[in-house]
Structure formats: C-alpha cells, structure tokens
Amino acid sequence: EEPVAKDAATCLSCHDTDDLPDMAGTAHGVRPNPPPMKAAAAALASRTMGDVRNSRSPTCFSCHGTSDQHANKPDNVEKQSKPDKTFTKKFGHVTTVQADERSRVCQSCHDGDSKRALWVGSQHQAANVACNDCHQVHTARDKVLKKASESEVCYACHKEQRTQLNKLSHHPVVEGKMTCSDCHNVHGSSGPKLVKRDSINDTCYTCHAEKRGPFVQQHSPVAEDCTNCHNSHGSVIPGMLKTRAPMLCQQCHTPHVSGAVGALGGQSGVFAPAAAGQAVPQITSVTNGKNVVNMWQGRSCMNCHSQIHGSNSPSFSNPLMR
C-alpha cells in the first residue's frame, strides 16, 4: 500500500490540478504531468510535497495550518472561512497575517540555508517584506527565480532602478542576460545595499576582478567604493558613470586645462579662425594637449589617464595613472 499524506489529500479533494495547475512543477512538487483529480491524493505519496518518506517534505498543512473550519464549513455558516494562514494579496483574500509571521512559515524549512542566515534585521525584513511578496509558491514559473523575469518583481518596489536600467549604459538586465540577484542577496547580507559579498567592491570584483589590484599607482576612491564614480544600475553616460568627465574628475581634482569653460570641437571659436568677440581661437597649432577638446571630448581625462582604476606601470616621471 502506498503511503499517503492524508493532510494534503484533504486539501487536494478541492484544490486539485485544475485549481493549481502549476503546483506539480514547483520545487514543492516535482511531477510534471498533474494527475487527474481522483488520482491526485494517491499521487502525493511519491511527490516531494507530501512525500511521507521524506521527513523534509512539507504538506499543505505545513504552511496553511490544519484549517479545520475552512475544510469543514459548518452548515450554519454562509461563507466559508479562510484557511488558518493565508499569504496572498489577491483581492478578496488580503491576508491579515503579518509579514514576519508569513516569512517564518517558509523559514521553518529554509532557515538553515546559508544564504538566508542574515535575513532577520536585513533591509527587506525591516521593510515588512515577506517571502511571498516576491515568491509565488503555487506555480512552476516563479518569476523571481527566472533570470529573464526576476527584475520585474524587484521593480514592483524599486522604480528608480528600473529607470536607471533603461538608460543607455547599463548592465544587461533588460536583455535578460543578468539579473538583480547576480549582485544582491535579497535575503540578507553583511554588505551594504544587500550586495552579495561583504562590500560593494568585493561584489563588483566577482565579474570585474581586473580592478582588484592593489596597484603601484592606486586611486583611493576606486579602492574604497566603485559607486563613488559609477551607478551600477545604469546611466546616460558611457561606463555607467554618475557624472560625465571632466566634471566627475573635477569634483575632487583641481583641473588643468587652458580655458575655463567647456567647449567642443565644432563649436564656434574652438578652431581657427576665432569667432567674433574672441581674441584668439581656443585651439591653435601651438595649443597644448590639455585643451578643451581633449578635456571634454573622446574619453576626456581618460584620454591620457588611461588606467584610472589603478596602474601597475611604475612611473619614471609623475604618477599619471597610465
């Protein structure tokens, strides 16, 4: 005789495969072809969900409680009561169970996972986010577990990041080649902003290890925090820079350029002949390399200071980050 998870069978007598068509494909139930309603209860015996041979296997009761009133509606009650614990935010079924309590249901099984060790006190926990605010349990296609659709779930709250990721210079999240959890551990982390590793830089180094150094010519803001200069969610400026060079560089460095104002090659007076009102054009045959065109166009300051993240060329003149 096949072992049957009786409690789950109770639930499946109503919530069959028509009601939860995707359930079997989840991590809580692996059967790909849902059995017909009559066979559902028996089939539970060999499913992870309700598998009585697997002590770690949950059943419907594990999350929702025994829900006696819900399963056995008294005749004198007009409306069937909710299960003991509900999780969804669907209209008409808004849960009154607090976020922490909902999360605790999931944690009762998933607490030992190292990725969730620092959940309590994390930004998401403190912001009253529960596991099921992001995860869908009763579907095989939980959006937050798919690289191409995960970010849509995050955008539900993080609108600014959605805007930034749609900017010209961005990590390939919109293209589905990267996703938020490539950099963030949303379940709690020791790093700031829930980054996966212990610091922002250490997280960036997981893909950009060439920036780790240390170098013979260091650049202290680079070594301290990549986000001093970069907006990792996207920017209108190439290289995901927060600000376009030379303004970015001039927020720390005294500028060395002839001519105080910014101008471009192609603008009046930049090249000979001088524009009306100007004594001389800004760029002449004797103008040195620190001119407004080289400072504002091309790679700007990086036209010369090529290795701005740190150089391993011992300089025999001034340290130039070259």
Q: Is residue 55 at the binding interface for another protein, with CB under 8 A as the rule? A: yes
Q: Is residue 88 at the binding interface for another protein, with CB under 8 A as the rule? A: no
- Output the smallest distance, CB 71 to another protein, in A: 24
Stretch that binds another protein, among 10-18, 61-69, 71-79, 171-179 (CB under 8 A): 171-179
Kindly state the number of chain residues that form the binding site for another protein, as judged by CB under 8 A. 131
Q: Give me the count of residues in the chain.
A: 322
Name which position in 19, 66, 156, 193 contacts another protein (CB under 8 A). Answer: 156
Question: Alpha-carbon distance 31 to 42, whole Å?
Answer: 13
By C-alpha distance, which of 162, 284, 289 is closest to 233?
A: 162
Q: Is residue 146 at the binding interface for another protein, with CB under 8 A as the rule? A: no
- Smaller CB separation from another protein, 71 or 247: 247
Name which position in 46, 72, 80, 108 contacts another protein (CB under 8 A). Answer: 46
Question: Alpha-carbon distance 119 to 105, whole Å?
Answer: 14
Question: Alpha-carbon distance 236 to 129, whole Å?
Answer: 31
- Smaller CB separation from another protein, 68 or 253: 253
Name which position in 4, 15, 22, 31 contacts another protein (CB under 8 A). Answer: 31
Q: Helix or strand or coil: residue 123? A: helix
- Output the smallest distance, CB 114 to another protein, in A: 4
Q: What angle do CA 113, 142, 180 make, to 5 degrees?
A: 70
- Smaller CB separation from another protein, 71 or 147: 147
* DSSP annotation of 34: P
Q: Which two tokens stand for residue 286?
A: 């004797």
By C-alpha distance, which of 87, 71, 13, 72 is closest to 44?
A: 13
Q: Is residue 272 at the binding interface for another protein, with CB under 8 A as the rule? A: yes
Name which position in 14, 39, 42, 216 contacts another protein (CB under 8 A). Answer: 216
- Smaller CB separation from another protein, 72 or 176: 176
- Smaller CB separation from another protein, 6 or 253: 253
Q: Is residue 124 at the binding interface for another protein, with CB under 8 A as the rule? A: no
Q: Is residue 266 at the binding interface for another protein, with CB under 8 A as the rule? A: yes
Task: Give the count of alpha carbons within 13 A of 208, CB side only.
Answer: 14
By C-alpha distance, which of 322, 183, 313, 321 is closest to 240?
A: 183
- Output the smallest distance, CB 75 to another protein, in A: 27
253, 246 Cβ separation under 8 angstroms: no
Question: Alpha-carbon distance 138 to 28, whole Å?
Answer: 9
Name which position in 17, 62, 210, 226 contacts another protein (CB under 8 A). Answer: 210
